Structure 1
């Protein structure tokens, strides 16, 4: 975690993380199992558990009616939808937001404005299964590191995440 102080980026904390089972991708595609590279705004937070004390961001407690749509043929693609009907009759592919890995999660605002069909969806920071188990394309941290990150993020500062190789991250930060 870095914070910009004046014109310099200052390291504040190091957190081990896991990424997608297919590694990092500079050309993310829906379902490829890769984590998209680039710089993205951090969005709202959610989880099936209560909002942790000290979290400043908007937080939604999820239930069985909260979905993130990854059906690239749907008008709902890459959107959070609250739906009380049978999701399998509305979408070919979706993610339930009350999933066990989403006790707490942070939305990475990837592939929006405009949403590009089949470019990837539902990219979050969430808790990991283990320190050596990759994700389907998200970033995962230990639950304790995730909670620290959630409390540290201040939406008033418009936080961003930079995902990439050491060289690509240096290039992005150099231009910020």
Structure 2
């Protein structure tokens, strides 16, 4: 698969949840989990998992937005929709009906964050252990504050991104922030400057 069909997400630095996402030549701002980016994610750590994952389906509030054209399966959210986040449950990391005996979060929210949700295929084939659940692309708060592990975009940006996603698109979450990738180049420039300033008489 070429990068043209991979949504690549990378944090700006290890000290912030702010990140950038790119798909082909398009770029968007986004925000990540308050727990950082982790290869060893577990339930409740608020971290965004490292790796490459499929995109499963879309859930949306049809009382709040008109869904743009999408190639992903989609259905409206209703007031009885929840998402199980209890590793002990047989429905762990699955959409569930509320009321439900297991721990879950509500999909029908007043704050608008789940007005548009793209389900990321993380720890769902099948769900195992306590490796985490409910990893979504969803709408960010206005201040881009950290998520509980999801990747969140401005509402208009997510509406713009959705028609570009296909059943083959994958989310690639990079482990290293952008500023760490820039450091080796900077160090090399400093070394070149030292060599340039070097005088043989210093020997």
Please tell me the TM-score bracket, short chain as reference. Answer: 0.7 to 0.9
* Comparing 34-43 and 158-167, the one that deviates more: 158-167
For the residue of structure 1 that corresponds to 2:4, the secondary structure is strand
Q: Distance in 1 between matches of 2:27 and 2:50?
A: 19
TM-score, normalization by structure 1: 0.81
Instruction: Report what 2:33 is aligned to.
Output: 20
Cα offsets for 1:91-120 (capped at 9, x unmatched): 1x2011122311111000000223112100
Q: Please report how far the alpha carbon of residue 43 of structure 1 lies from its aligned counterpart in structure 2 after TM superposition.
A: 0.9
Instruction: Report what 2:69 is aligned to.
Output: 54
1:101 equivalent to 2:116? Answer: no
Q: Which of the pair has more CA radius of gyration? A: 2
RMSD of aligned Cα (Å): 2.2
Relative to 1, partners in 2 of residues 1:138 and 1:18: Cα closer, same or farther, differing over 3 Å?
same
* Contact 1:77/1:117, CA 8 A, preserved across alignment: no
* Contact 2:68/2:162, CA 8 A, preserved across alignment: no
1:40 equivalent to 2:53? Answer: yes
1:65-84 matched pairs, under 5 angstroms: 65-81=80-96, 83=97
Structure 1, gaps ≥5 residues long? 5-9, 171-176
TM-score, normalization by structure 2: 0.71
Structure 2, gaps ≥5 residues long? 6-22, 182-203
- 2:123 pairs with one of 111, 124, 128: 111
1:63 equivalent to 2:78? Answer: yes
Q: Distance in 2 between matches of 1:163 and 1:131?
A: 22
Cα offsets for 1:102-159 (capped at 9, x unmatched): 111100000022311210000000000134300011000001110111111122xx11
- 2:43 pairs with one of 24, 30, 34: 30
Instruction: Report what 2:149 is aligned to.
Output: 137
* Comparing 32-41 and 128-137, the one that deviates more: 128-137
Q: Which runs of 4+ in 1 moved over 6 A?
A: none
Instruction: Report what 1:161 is aligned to.
Output: 171
